[in-house]
A and B are shown apart, each in its own frame.
Chain A
């Protein structure tokens, strides 16, 4: 009896090793974009205990929860949320403006906008930059900013997220959005726009900034401080 059990475990281990080997050979030199687009036709993360038929969903609907490393093989594959019976198709064309907008709207939480924090919106931006060109993502960002201008949470999160990117990487959309936010009647959003210019630390932006002055006295004080800072320390 014990011999049979032992054989059975070995079989499982052998199968798993073979699977790992197979994956390693195929995927060792890829990045995720390549992974989704060209390699994976179907990836089945199937819970063997479940009797349900696997449900097929696209990347658009999938939610990456973690990238568990495959021990000994020094690379990772994404693990998707939703359930344990997912088939992920190769279709990255599903990464669209609507996907981007909805994902940002879903995760934008104003309480995450705390100095030093990394927000869920930043993660969406980061994922989008992996899957699409920089120009396209910035264009989407611009569009979301306009379409969702009534949402303080979304606007605050976008301003906060772009303030953590390099000025050159978000130019010209980033500073344009921040300039736009300076006219927002909400004083906290104006404060976040000023914070973005401060974080970018670009002398290039001084010429835009000097043509403007916030209405609110606290923001005015900050504004003057940031212009002085950029003149003294800007790149």
Chain B
């Protein structure tokens, strides 16, 4: 069986689901616009069951350029087939910085005008029946912290803006009495985060900051 997880950019683009389950030719253009394809494929992440959602959260957010709360839709692969759609494992098109997670990347393939409409219908129906899955920033930080501790994610390999946001959020949490991350963050990772906090304070936009010393005199 298995489930596929897809990020929703804006729930408002799917607002129709609250009032009606539209026919294929009645679906709002904004919903279709959200389904931007590459090579007639749509990217999703595979999980065995809905409780494994953190696996998809990690695969997705480790490739982010910014720390953001996200919204997800989860539908099962059998339903996908009922809508005349096919999903295929696609490691080569995966974009994730979680080691070993590319294998969970699935593309919904061979999309055309009609099938894109069917996929939009499927998402609409799923949102209507099961609702959207909200993943807040606190949860994402926890998932990424755990992945760093388990050496699934290398902090240094994350995008520089994500690193900046992550370091600031984790260090804030560690200063709290009731810290939720203290038991997860090891000393070496804390060291990396403190280094990042120092970098956050500097005044430079240099994308070569890892080997650029110009900010040190700032």
Residues of chain A having any CB pair with chain B under 8 Å? 27-35, 64, 66-69, 74-76, 113-118, 122-123, 126-127, 130, 163-164, 166, 187-188, 191, 195, 198-199, 201, 216-219, 222, 225, 229, 233, 235
A-B pair number, CB within 8 angstroms: 120
Q: Which of B18, B69, B206, B215 contacts A199 (CB 8 A)?
A: B69
Chain B residue at smallest Cβ distance from A129: B203
Nearest CB to that of A192 among chain B residues? Answer: B10
Question: Do B11 and A198 touch (CB < 8 A)?
Answer: no
Q: Which of B13-60 contact A (CB under 8 A)?
A: 13, 15, 18, 60
Chain A proximity of B206: nearest CB distance (Å): 5
Having A31-B204, A69-B212, A164-B165, one finds 16 other A-B pairs with CB under 8 Å, namely: A30-B214, A32-B206, A67-B205, A74-B212, A115-B7, A116-B61, A117-B65, A122-B161, A126-B205, A163-B68, A191-B10, A191-B12, A198-B136, A201-B137, A216-B12, A235-B176
Residues of chain A with a CB closer than 8 A to B66's CB: 116-118, 122, 164
Q: In the docked arrangement, what's the CA distance between A153 and B137, Å?
A: 24
**Contact indicator A76/B161 (Cβ below 8 Å):** no
Chain A, Cβ-Cβ closest to B202? A31
Closest to A127 in B: B205
Which chain B residue lies CB-closest to A75?
A: B214
Pair B68/A164 contact, Cβ less than 8 Å = yes
**A32-B203, A74-B212, A76-B212 are known contacts. Are A233 and B138 too (CB-CB below 8 A)?**
yes
**Interface membership of chain B positions 181-218, coded 1 if the CB is closer than 8 angstroms to chain A and 0 otherwise:** 00000000000000000000011111110011111111
Cross-interface CB contact of A29 among B7, B67, B208, B216, cutoff 8 Å? B216
Confirm or deny: B172 has a beta carbon within 8 angstroms of a beta carbon on chain A.
yes
Assembled-state Cα–Cα distance A114/B66 (Å): 10
**Residues of B contacting A130 in the complex (Cβ-Cβ under 8 angstroms):** 203-205
Q: List 19 A-B contacts (CB under 8 A).
A: A66-B207, A67-B205, A67-B207, A67-B208, A69-B212, A74-B211, A74-B212, A76-B206, A115-B64, A115-B69, A115-B71, A122-B161, A123-B205, A126-B205, A198-B69, A198-B137, A218-B11, A219-B12, A235-B176
CB distance from B6 to the nearest CB of A (A): 12
B9 in contact (CB, < 8 A): yes
Q: Distance (Å) between the CB of A185 and the closest chain B CB?
A: 13
Residue in contact with A115 in the complex, picked from B9, B12, B204, B208, CB distance below 8 Å: B9
Nearest 3 CB-CB pairs, A to B? A29-B217, A116-B64, A31-B218
With a CB–CB cut-off of 8 A, which chain A residues contact B67? 164, 199
